[in-house]
Amino acid sequence: MNKAQEVKKDVVVLFAGDSGDGIQLVGSQFTSTTALYGNDVSTFPNFPAEIRAPQGTLPGVSGFQLHFGSVEITTSGDACDVLVVMNSAALKANIRQLKQGGIIIANSDGFNPKDLKLAKYPEGVNPLKDGSLEKFKVHEIDITKLTRTCLEGSGMGTKETDRSKNMFVLGFIYWMYNRSLDGTIEFLKEQFKKRPELIDANVKVLKAGYNYGDTTETPMTRYEVKPAPMPKGTYRSITGNQATALALIAASQKAGVTLFYGSYPITPASDILHELSKHKNYGVKTFQAEDEIAAVTSAIGASFGGNLGVTASSGPGIALKAEAIGLALMLELPLVICNIQRGGPSTGLPTKTEQSDLLQALYGRNGESPAVVLAANSPSDCFTMAYEACRIAIEHMTPVFFLSDGYIANGAEPWRFPQAKDLKAISVKYAEKNFSEGEKFLPYKRNEKLARSWAIPGTKGLEHRIGGLEKENETGNISYDPENHEFMTKMRTARIEKIADYIPLQTIDNGKEKGKLLVLGWGSTYGAIRTAVKELIAEGYDVANAHVKYMHPLPKNLGNIVKNFEKVLIPEMNNGQFIKIIRDKFLVDAIGFNKIKGIPFASGEIKNKVIELIGK
């Protein structure tokens, strides 16, 4: 049967199903395949906090949104063009995400009376049958039945057979977008190396899904999304957490300092631990500590020993680490603290994204305790900024926060990865015994960066004691002297401020240097802001955007940039945190735009807000 072909610039697909349906796998496979094909792509896995919430219910719905195109893609998409649902709950939970006229691919078996009831549809109501979906193109496919038929005679039980349903969906979507099955087949071979019968079964179902598209009598459209004109180079797909892990290893290799990673499992940071623990042949030492406090303090012990101590967590865990971070700050030792932010406060929304730990990173410790804070703005930018965090920690002998969040940590995008030789050098200077006999080693003597030297145990003649008590300038001996305490407090601030001399100046991402409105962002809102501002500029609006990655100290020219605009809009996925800093630092009457829903901004929301503020 002839099928219609349509060319699309970009498409947003949302896969949704029960958390046991293998939705995340479908999403990540489609991402790899489509990225390999040459599309630009951005993804947004969205899953429940419960591992297996009751089957078929709304809390149990797991989703994976993916935006790909032949144009630059910077967000996982506002609304979706295609919604794939494995059951009634998945439809109910996600239908409002679907564009008018969008396509629904529904597993009709998931709309039986039991599933409809679990999804809390009123008795006798089936959205597939009652006309409520008439604004959309609905394709009902009995995926369960087709999968079972396909595996008939395979000797597999129903339960096992049904686990391959996701491969049918994937195969069908591959057909819709003309994608090769090869990557996934390779993946399945690797995944089920030890159970060849599962390779056969899954490949068979995958192909059946693809062939279904070819053979079905139902009129269906196939779409063509051409490769994106991205800068020339070699690409791979990467998630933010993977990029973070790679950056830590890369920094340790470039600096010639062993990486010690102390961590306690927490969503959404655990994947960094998983990734690092795979790379022991890089000399990486991973340590799953007994709690968050031991995770950070073991890293401090490692840094004292001359290794690069790194710890990671999310908000609640960072709260537990606060006292120890204060210690690292007093000890003036390198320490990288990754905070993969999630919805808070307290346990909050473990699997949802938020940017609400900025003030925690800046101020969440007792005493005057300034720390360096960096923030990544996309999955691949996690590599750049986590690497920078390591560089600054080592070169300036200080704790550095690296902020990421659930959206970019789990989201993926194509990454034009660097070559090792092109990475910025990290200079490590261990203290040496370069003073004469009779003189004492001064552990808190400072260099031109106001950083003390790294005197590691084992070095003859540099035996010294450091601790959390206030210390005398240079000697590091305990001191309760009032003048000294004020001096040291100011010194600890000055040495962090000094780092502004060693970071890049702020640039404007889109638009002119002066104008009506600047959209000033930080962190994972980058994609949505960039898309919105590019479109607005194309539509003739006098708007620009800048995205801050060095949150403390701020780039030295940021004040000037901000003051060049009549209005400054700061969109944040929190109740207004960065805006406090900007107002405080530059006395600018910035306007906040806040979304606190556990989901990222849509670029449309930002566009509308800008138009509301400056009009046509």
Name which of residues 472 to 491 contact another protein (CB under 8 A).
477-478
Q: Residue 254: which region, alpha, beta or left (left: phi > 0; alpha: psi -120 to 50)? A: alpha
- Tell which positions 4-33 bind another protein, by CB under 8 A: 32
- Strand runs labelled E in 8-53: 10-18, 40-46
CA atoms within 13 A on the CB side of 387: 23
| 475: exposed, middle or buried (Cβ count in 10 Å: 0-12, 13-18, 19+) | middle
Site size toward another protein (CB under 8 A) is 74
Of positions 122, 458, 540, 615, contacts another protein by CB under 8 A: 458
106 or 246: CB nearest another protein: 246
With b meaning 16 or more CB within 10 Å and e meaning fewer, what string describes 184-222? Answer: beebbeeebeeeeebbebbbbbbbbbbebbeeeeeebee
Within 263-302, which residues bind another protein (CB under 8 A)?
Answer: 279-285, 287, 289-291, 293-294, 297-302
> Residue from 234, 366, 434, 436 that binds another protein (CB under 8 A)?
234
The two three-digit tokens of residue 374, written as one number? 């960096």
Quote the least distance from Cβ 499 to another protein, whole Å. 25
Under rule CB under 8 A, residue 113 binds another protein: no
- In angstroms, what is the minimal distance from the CB of 424 to another protein? 14
Residue 253 found at the interface with another protein (CB under 8 A): yes
Residue 273 or 536 with smaller CB distance to another protein: 273
Would you count residue 236 as binding another protein (CB under 8 A)? yes
Nearest to another protein of 95, 456 (CB atom): 456
> Closer CB to another protein, residue 98 or residue 400?
400
d(CA 479, CA 481): 5
The span from the CA of 519 to the CA of 532, in Å, is 10
- Assess 367 for contact with another protein (CB under 8 A): no
- Window of 55-63, 150-158, 346-354, 414-422 that interacts with another protein by CB under 8 A: 414-422
> Restricting to residues 160-189, which ones interact with another protein according to CB under 8 A?
183
564 binds another protein (CB under 8 A): no
Separation CA 221–CA 105 (nearest Å): 12
Residue 260 interacts with another protein (CB under 8 A): yes or no: yes
Nearer to another protein, 151 or 308 (CB): 308
Q: Are 26 and 15 in contact (CB under 8 A)?
A: yes
Binding residues among 199-228 for another protein as defined by CB under 8 A: 227
CB contact at 8 A, 303 and 316: no
Smallest distance from another protein to CB 236, Å? 5
- The tokens describing 413, both together, are 């995008």
Name the one range near another protein by CB under 8 A: 100-108, 320-328, 424-432, 528-536: 320-328
- Tell me how far, at minimum, the Cβ of 238 lies from another protein, in Å: 8
- Kindly report the length of the chain: 616
On whether the CB atoms of residues 364 and 318 are closer than 8 A, the answer is: yes
Give the E-state strand segments of 289-420 in sequence order. Answer: 308-313, 335-341, 372-375, 399-405, 412-415
Please, which residue, 8 or 279, has the CB nearer to another protein?
Answer: 279
**Strands, sheet with 285-288, edge to edge from the N-terminal-most edge strand:** 285-288, 259-263, 308-313, 335-341, 399-405, 372-375, 550-552
Query: Near another protein by CB under 8 A, which window of 163-171, 253-261, 363-371, 521-529?
Result: 253-261
Burial of 469 (0-12, 13-18, 19+ CB in 10 A): exposed
Does 84 contact another protein by CB under 8 A?
no
For position 467 contacting another protein by CB under 8 A, the verdict is yes
Among 468, 474, 513, 597, binds another protein (CB under 8 A): 468
Phi, psi (5° rounding) for residue 407? -65, -55
Residue 615 identity: G
Distance CA 576, CA 404 (A): 17
Confirm or reject binding of residue 439 to another protein (CB under 8 A). no
Look up tokens 């996701």; give the residue. Answer: 166
Smallest distance, another protein to C-beta of residue 259, A: 10
Pick the closer one to another protein by CB: 43 or 525: 43
Query: How many angstroms separate the CA atoms of 19 and 49, rounded?
Result: 10
Q: For another protein, which is the closer residue by CB, 230 or 508?
A: 230
For the bound state, the minimum distance from the C-beta of residue 406 to another protein, rounded and expressed in Å, comes to 22
Q: Which is nearer to another protein, 403 or 431 (CB)?
A: 431
Residue with smaller CB distance to another protein, 87 or 244: 244
96 binds another protein (CB under 8 A): no
Instruction: List the interface residues with another protein, window 32-51 (CB under 8 A).
Output: 32, 35-38
